[in-house]
Amino acid sequence: MTTPFIVSTEVSAALAAGSPVVALESTIISHGLPRPRNHEAAKEFERILRDAGVTPATIAVLDGVPRIGLDADGVRRIAEEDLAKASVRDLPVLAATGASGATTVAATAHLASLAGVRVFATGGLGGVHRGASHTFDESADLSTLAVTPVTVVSAGVKSVLDIAATLERLETLSVPVVGFRTTVFPSFWLTESAHELDWSVDSAAQVAAIMRSQDALGHGQGIVVANPIPREQQWDPTEHDRVLSEALAAADAAGIHGKAVTPFLLGFIVTASEGRSLEVNLDLARNNVRLAAEIAIEWALGARA
């Protein structure tokens, strides 16, 4: 039987040495950013980690093989090729058919955990969609984190989702949510939402301590670190509210539903904001990668102690 996934030589060596490693998803590159900005961003995210002394583990499925850590050609492929958007349920299908796919937060967390990578940086977490009481539309990110011991650094969830319901689901699934230097849950493009958090931490070392305590207590869940974009970098709230309202109305008028809703809304928002939302997206992703690097370093230091 062939190995079901491949860990790159670089990532394998770092894990064996107890050095810090951070997982990066590929969907943000293949589906979340326009070409060629997406390739530049993918290389930049990895460079931020390397400059901090952390090994990047960008994750994707290429030619049917889940890969934890991509070489330069792999990074190019996720940026330039038209890849399927792959969640956890799609991994065996891609493997059996030899197809390629960009991994979502759920699939990235799952594969990172299989490889022993404990820290993961993304832009925004998936969540419960608006109207989910009728559609039952909820991201697999939530249920996956309920059984996957990976710490995910995100700028909350996109404001196109139902933030209140998302936080309720995370509570039900016993996934801890801690704000990084904030007591208010962020809403991706904006520093704050209307929802307060029960827990807040002031340092990466505290996050690593929570991870160790969770392991000691036998919990198998992940941890969500809510890392708000700095206020001076957030999207103008007035413009955000206007564009979001227009996007929701346009989706309703066009009869968009199911899996097509979020891509439609995000595409509409980028166009209507004349690219301003995209620049905020990149800023918050960089911010999350930097924090994930700090957490991974603290986690590695604790493992060596």
- Catalytic pick among 138, 158, 192, 294: 158
CA atoms of 44 and 37, how far apart (whole Å): 10
90 is in an annotated binding site: no
Tokens of 111: 């594969």
- Catalytic pick among 25, 46, 138, 192: 25
43 is in an annotated binding site: no
At residue 193, the 3 state secondary structure works out as coil
137 is in an annotated binding site: yes
139 is in an annotated binding site: yes
141 is in an annotated binding site: yes
At residue 127, the 3 state secondary structure works out as coil
The sign of the CA dihedral 133, 134, 136, 139 is: negative
Q: In the annotation, is 25 catalytic?
A: yes
105 is in an annotated binding site: yes
Question: Which residue, 191, 196, 285, is CA-closest to 240?
Answer: 191
Place of tokens 């309920």: 146
Strand partners, 67: 6, 60
User: For the chain, where are the E strands, in sequence order?
Assistant: 6-7, 21-24, 55-62, 65-68, 84-86, 101-103, 119-121, 151-154, 177-180, 199-201, 223-226
Q: In the annotation, is 81 catalytic?
A: no
> Which letter does DSSP use for residue 239 in this model?
H
CA atoms of 3 and 140, how far apart (whole Å): 25
Catalytic site residues? Answer: 25, 158
Numbered residues of the known binding site for Mn(2+): 137
Tell me the binding residues: 85, 105, 137, 139-141
